Amino acid sequence: MTTPNAPTPAPKPWEHTKSGQGSAADPLAARFVSSLDYDKRLYTHDIQGSIAHARMLKHVNLITPEDLKEIERGLNEIKSEITDQGDHWPGWKVELEDVHMCIEAALIEKTGDAGRKLHTGRSRNDQVATDLVLWVNESCQGIVSRFKNLADAFVELAERDGSIVMPSYTHLQRAQPIVVGAELLAWLEALCECQRRFFSLTYNDVSPLGSGAIAGSSLPLDRKLSAEGLDLSTISMNSIYATASRDVAVDYAYALSMTSMWLSRWAEQWIIYSTTEFGFITLDDLYTTGSSMMPQKQNPDMLELIRGKTGLVYGSLMALLTMCKGLTIGYNRDLQEDKRHVFAAYDAVCDCLDMAARIVKTTKFNEEKIKQGLDKGFLDATSLAEYLVTKGVPFRTSHQVVGKLVQDCRDKGYEKLSLLTLDDFNAACTDSGSKPVAEQDVYDWLGPENVVKRYQTAGNAGLSGFQEQLKSWKERLKPTD
Ligand code: ARG
């Protein structure tokens, strides 16, 4: 019989308050402390962690084989219910705070005392740290397959349009002639470096499970066994660090940020290339949008959004770093916010990688338009200086000679160094105190088409470098059976 005026029992079974009411009594407090909105998506990882923990508990005789059977049955049922019902699963209760407590409560409802034993020797602090490691590892696979798709798209485009000669830019001023493929493979290399970062995350192979709330447990938990059950190769050394740290999340957000940074640089470059002024590329209509007012417009919004979403991704990294910087060692509730940022950054980067692959697959380089402007900017000036070096002129002197020749061209209104005569070249040599070494073969070193054939250093951005790199990328990206 209930006494009138007796406090209603707290809906959070783990709160033991004097009043009998807890943080669930104020709906704002209930919502404020809850992470359910965003940590629901950890349900498979949470269940995976719980099963590994329960199997270990059975192994060390803290629960019976019957308990384990019940726990596994219950958790597997819960997993399929959530998979089927998603956000509509009736077990999601904001007053239970998070994915961990909702699943545990549902398990207890299904299995009674067996479920009540699951949390033996465990805290949400090591539980959530474990879930996060599992999620990060799994989501890296998603990242890798997206990288692969984008890499294939770059290679495909490089094979199609890669030999087109184009200007390169330093300071966004015309520099030296290159081939389109070399620039495409530059983006590809940058992105592959980004992918590599996902494989060197702090602690992503380390199981924090068994670290408890902060100090471990006085029960004989076999941490190595639960780690093995999770396919993690090792266990954390120090229970305080293991529960206080979100290094794996920060590293992951950094890897995402670097990916975003490179995607953003690429997007910026292609936005410029798609302008009327440049006209180097044409984006597919699918990936441009019109203006609500100007009927002629085809704006590169998808590229702009790839660039723009970098703000969100960097923001997530900053949020995580800032969130951690003032915390005493040990779990603090601030850490709950980590997942919000990690998930947001991950979702944005996945979308951007997918979108980038579609854009790369459908973009065309406009050979004619690029060719029309190729003679502008004396792209072959460095090549001419190197020609003089092959004839024995010291580089600093040849640099001076060519500087003078470019000036001559400008004075004469010539756009191309190849319009100069042998006498012009030799006069510039003698003016700079060098022998007149220019011969007819100088013209083989001039003109962008000639220059891209002459580069011979390993990794060059001309034809030989591009072809060599393309070959090695095709080898590297070959599907492994
Ligand atoms: N949802 C929480 C998180 O993500 C679980 C940890 C709560 N721990 C605690 N000691 N109150 O961090």
The total domain count for the chain is 3
Please pick, among 88, 171, 200, 292, the residue that the annotation labels catalytic: 171
**413 within 8 A of 475, measured Cβ to Cβ:** no
Distance 331 CA to ligand 1 centre (A): 8
**Rounded mean pLDDT of the chain?**
95
- Distance separating alpha carbons of residues 111 and 235, to the nearest angstrom: 30
Residues 364, 386, single domain; the answer is: no
Over range 4-21, report the average pLDDT: 66
Distance, in Å, from the CA atom of 436 to the CA atom of 429, rounded to the nearest integer, reads 5
Q: Are residues 104 and 142 in the same domain?
A: no
* pLDDT classification of 215: cutoffs 50, 70, 90: very high
Catalytic residue among 145, 233, 291, 472: 291
Q: What range does the domain containing 27 cover?
A: 23-120
Q: Are residues 133 and 246 in the same domain?
A: yes
Q: Which residue in this structure is represented by tokens 């229970």?
A: 239
Domain check: are 147 and 260 in the same one? yes
Q: Cα of 246 to ligand 1 centre, how many Å? A: 13
CATH of residue 340's domain is: 1.20.200.10
| 348 and 252 part of one domain | yes
Last residue in a domain, options 318, 340, 372: 372
Considering the chain, what percentage of its residues have pLDDT values greater than 90?
90
Residues 40 and 145 in one domain: no
Locate the ligand 1 atom nearest the alpha carbon of residue 213 and give its number: 10
Atom of ligand 1 nearest to the CA of 331: 10
Q: Which atom of ligand 1 is nearest to the CA of 35?
A: 1
316, 346, 372 — which closes off a domain? 372
CA of 124 to the centre of ligand 1 (A): 5
- Please report whether residue 336 resides in a domain: yes
Domain containing residue 420: CATH number: 1.10.40.30
Residues 152 and 96 grouped into a single domain: no
Asked whether residue 265 carries a pLDDT value surpassing 60, the answer given is yes
Q: Are 295 and 349 in a shared domain?
A: yes
At 190, list the tokens.
């940058």
pLDDT at 3: 47
In this structure, the answer to whether residues 347 and 267 fall within a common structural domain is yes
For this structure, is 236 an active site residue?
A: no
> Mean pLDDT, to the nearest integer, of 70-87?
98
Residue 159 lies in a domain: yes
Q: How far apart are CA 105 and CA 445, in angstroms?
A: 77
Across 336-346, average pLDDT: 98
Pick 134 or 289 by higher pLDDT: 134
Q: How confident is the model at residue 87 (pLDDT cuts 50, 70, 90)?
A: very high
Closest ligand 1 atom, residue 99 Cα: 1
Same domain, 62 and 115: yes
Residue 54 lies in a domain: yes
At residue 5, the pLDDT reads 54
325: Cβ contacts below 8 Å, ≥ 6 apart: none
Residue in 33, 42, 98, 127 to alter for ligand 1 test, most ligand atoms within 8 A of Cβ: 98
**Listed range (23-37, 148-162, 370-384) with the worst mean pLDDT:** 23-37
Nearest-CA residue for ligand 1 atom 12 is 336
Residue 399: active-site member:
no
Whether residues 217 and 72 fall in one domain: no
The confidence score (pLDDT) of residue 481 equals 65
Q: Do residues 249 and 308 share a domain?
A: yes
The answer to whether position 468 is within a domain reads: no
pLDDT at position 200 is 82
The CATH number of the domain holding residue 56 is 1.10.275.10
Looking at the predicted structure, is the pLDDT value of residue 420 above 90? yes
pLDDT the model gives residue 216:
98
Confidence of residue 1 (pLDDT cuts 50, 70, 90): very low
Domain end point (choices 325, 354, 372)? 372
Q: How far apart are CA 382 and CA 362, in angstroms?
A: 34
